Amino acid sequence: MAQPVPCIVDEEGLESVAESITITDNRTGETFELPIVNGGVAANEWSKAVPGVWFYDPAFMYTAACESSITYLDGEAGVLRYRGYPIEQLAEKSSYLEVAYLLLNGELPTAEQYDVWRHDVTYHTFIHENVRKRFLEGFHYDAHPMGMLVSAVAALSTFYLDAKDIFDPESRSKQIIRLIAKMPTLAAAAHRFSVGMPFVYPDNTLDFASNFLSMMWKVAEPRFEPDPVLTRALDVLFILHADHEQNCSTTAMRVVGSSHADPYSATAAAAAALYGPRHGGANEAVIKMLTEIGSIDNVPAFVESVKSGGGRLQGFGHRVYKSYDPRATIIKRTADEVFSVTGKNPLLDIALKLEEIALSDDYFISRRLYPNVDFYSGLIYQAMGFPLEMFPVLFAIPRTAGWLTHWQEMLDQDSKIARPRQLYIGDDARDYVPVEARG
Ligand code: CMC
């Protein structure tokens, strides 16, 4: 028997049937009609119809885990928008701090709101001396800066006990500001430690990106003066990396946050997810791949080896984008600006040749593999002097705004603790065998 489908009632009180899908349980012959809302079928409606039959979707490839109004992504058309604003416009006209405000608040700030926001973020850049002296300096001399960052962010939760008050709006907003403001400080501290350079305190007279560059590169000069082209390029890269809807690290943030863990612990979990080479580590892998290829002449043979299963073309392909990643287009342009200051990265020609060959090869065309955000970003970071180990760290700094926005949205939606089901494929019940009796 078909179940009644909910109706849509418009402003004039007229009813119309919502979009729906009909399923038949062939075990019983029963038919169910399930409503389609915002392009999705609610899994709980499905489970009411066929209890005990789970969707099997290990990497959540076909599952929408939440409703969200933060970032819109159309992978077929190569469209990315934050809160409705096209990424191209934000990259051209906005700044990372303004974008962070937009993500978190849903609207662009007025001049007054922006001044307060910028002041707040700028004045929370310092970290407790114990975090640096006792915690960060306790790492082994060759510790990876991303490992240090992940641990240091988690450790911050022990310094801000009020962070546990996640439903107190004042506390929540304070932790959000602290996290966004302190990420560059922790990131630069991790780098300075890994190269044996003394820590540089934040300079709160500098803007967000310049302050980070100062903490990274300042040596003995009284004030670090970054090149404005490089500062702007870094800010654009921060804008492009600020959010990307339900990616692996954001999903980690939402899942850990759903247990009502404090935001530092949840952010550390998200950063840990970003550490992997399939996610935030891909641009490092791109540089290693280009270096290994070594010259333009070797590109065709390398592409052939990828096609015959000898590894992946790093910086190519995306779970959602099945056309050119719009961020890659902007990054390619930004690379030219950066190289006009730093000189061309010698790996650029290999990257361009690789792209040219791959985009005309049926293997990549048929699988809809295009350059993603990581294909060119590593070339920029390398030309700016960042060591490879810092690449995922450079991703984590701006993505913190996105993670926190999703965390906040998830809490405001009063969501349940994330707890998927499984399809058990192990042994049936069996009796314990004492060790002497085991074969
Ligand atoms: N080079 C060669 N073949 C590839 C590549 C690649 N980069 N990516 C996918 N394929 C092939 C893959 O072998 C498979 O072929 P077949 O159907 O013959 O088995 C097909 O394309 C589909 O691949 P998949 O692994 O099922 O696709 P996925 O959606 O699970 O993976 C991905 C997405 C990003 C993990 C993958 O494309 C990849 O490993 N790319 C290289 C790493 C990379 O650039 N990662 C950065 C992603 S963007 C930044 C971010 O989100 O953090």
The Cα 76–Cα 60 span in angstroms is 18
Rounded to whole angstroms, the Cα distance separating 284 from 292 reads 12
SS3 85: strand
Task: Tell me which H or E stretch contains 71.
Answer: strand 71-74
Higher pLDDT, residue 47 or 255: 255
**pLDDT tens profile 143-188:** 999 999 999 999 999 999 999 999 999 999 999 999 999 999 999 9
Ligand 1 centre from 365 Cα, in Å? Answer: 13
The CA distance from 383 to 226, in Å, is 14
Contact in structure between 45 and 34 (CB atoms under 8 Å) = yes
Most trustworthy range by pLDDT among 5-9, 13-17, 235-239: 235-239
Side-chain-facing half-sphere of 404: CA atoms under 13 Å: 31
Q: Could you tell me the CA-to-CA distances from 416 to 107, 226, 305, 387, 425 in Å, in that order? A: 27, 46, 46, 41, 27
Distance CA 300, CA 353 (A): 9
Position 121 scores a pLDDT of: 96
pLDDT band at 7 (very low <50, low <70, confident <90, very high): low
Q: How far is the CA of 319 from the centre of ligand 1 (A)?
A: 7
Q: How far apart are CA 330 and CA 283, in angstroms?
A: 16
pLDDT score recorded for residue 419: 94
Q: Name the DSSP class of 242.
A: S
Residue 207 domain-assigned (yes or no): no
Residue 40, in any domain of the structure: yes
Which one-letter amino acid corresponds to residue 118? Answer: R
pLDDT one-digit tens code per residue, 126-151: 999 898 888 998 999 899 999 999 99
Q: What domain range is 35 assigned to?
A: 7-55
Sign of CA dihedral 292, 332, 232, 144: negative
CA of 394 to the centre of ligand 1 (A): 22
In ligand 1, the atom with minimum distance to the C-alpha of 317 is: 37
The residue whose CA is least distant from atom 15 of ligand 1 is: 367
Residues 6+ apart with CB under 8 A from 248: 273, 274, 276, 278, 279
Q: Which of 316, 364, 399 to mutate to test the pocket of ligand 1 (most atoms within 8 A of CB)?
A: 316
How far is the C-alpha of 178 from the C-alpha of 160, rounded, in Å?
10
Answer yes or no: is pLDDT of 414 > 90: no
Which of 319, 327, 359, 363 to mutate to test ligand 1, by most ligand atoms within 8 A of the CB atom? 319
Number of domain units in the chain: 1
- Strand-pair partners of 297: none
C-alpha dist (Å) from residue 295 to 139, 332, 349, 386: 38, 20, 8, 22
In tens, the pLDDT along 354-377 reads 999 999 999 999 999 999 988 999
- pLDDT of amino acid 132: 86
Which residues are known to be catalytic? 279, 318, 374
Over residues 243-249, the mean pLDDT reads 96
Q: Whose CA is nearest to atom 25 of ligand 1?
A: 319
Segment 201-223 mean pLDDT: 94
- Of the pLDDT bands very low, low, confident and very high (cuts 50, 70, 90), residue 9 is low
- Ligand 1 centroid – CA 90 distance (Å): 28
Dist. CA 237 → ligand 1 center (Å): 22
Which residue is closest in CA terms to ligand 1's atom 35?
A: 278
User: How many helices (H) and strands (E) are present in the chain, helices listed first?
Assistant: 18, 8
- Burial class (CB within 10 angstroms; exposed 0-12, middle 13-18, buried 19+) of 243: buried
**Ligand 1 atom 22, closest CA:** 367
| Window from 42-51, 103-112, 415-424 with minimum mean pLDDT | 42-51
47 part of a folded domain: yes
Which of the four pLDDT bands, split at 50, 70 and 90, describes residue 45? confident
Q: Who lines ligand 1 at CB under 6 A?
A: 247, 278-280, 282, 306, 312-319, 367, 369, 372-374
31 assigned to some structural domain: yes
- Dig out the tokens for 241 from the structure: 């990396």
Q: What is the pTM (predicted TM-score) of this model?
A: 0.91
Ligand 1 atom 27, closest CA: 319
Q: What share of the chain is helix, strand, coil (3-state, %, to 5)?
A: 50, 10, 40
Q: How far is the CA of 316 from the centre of ligand 1 (A)?
A: 7
pLDDT at 1 over 50: no
Please name the residue that has the structure tokens 């490992």: 147
CA torsion through residues 353, 331, 81, 89, sign: negative
For atom 16 of ligand 1, the residue with the nearest CA is 367
Which pLDDT does position 10 carry in this prediction?
59
- Domain assignment present for 423: no
CA of 15 to the centre of ligand 1 (A): 45
Q: Whose CA is nearest to atom 51 of ligand 1?
A: 279
Residue 78 domain flag: no
Which is nearest to 213 in space by CA: 194, 187, 243?
187
Predicted confidence band of residue 2 (pLDDT cuts 50, 70, 90) = very low
Q: Flag whether 38 is in a domain.
A: yes
Which of 320, 372, 403 should be mutated for ligand 1, with most atoms under 8 A from CB?
Answer: 372
The answer to whether residue 369 is domain-embedded is: no
Calculate mean pLDDT across residues 399-405.
98
pLDDT at 6: 53
What's the rounded Cα separation, in Å, for the pair 250 and 367?
26
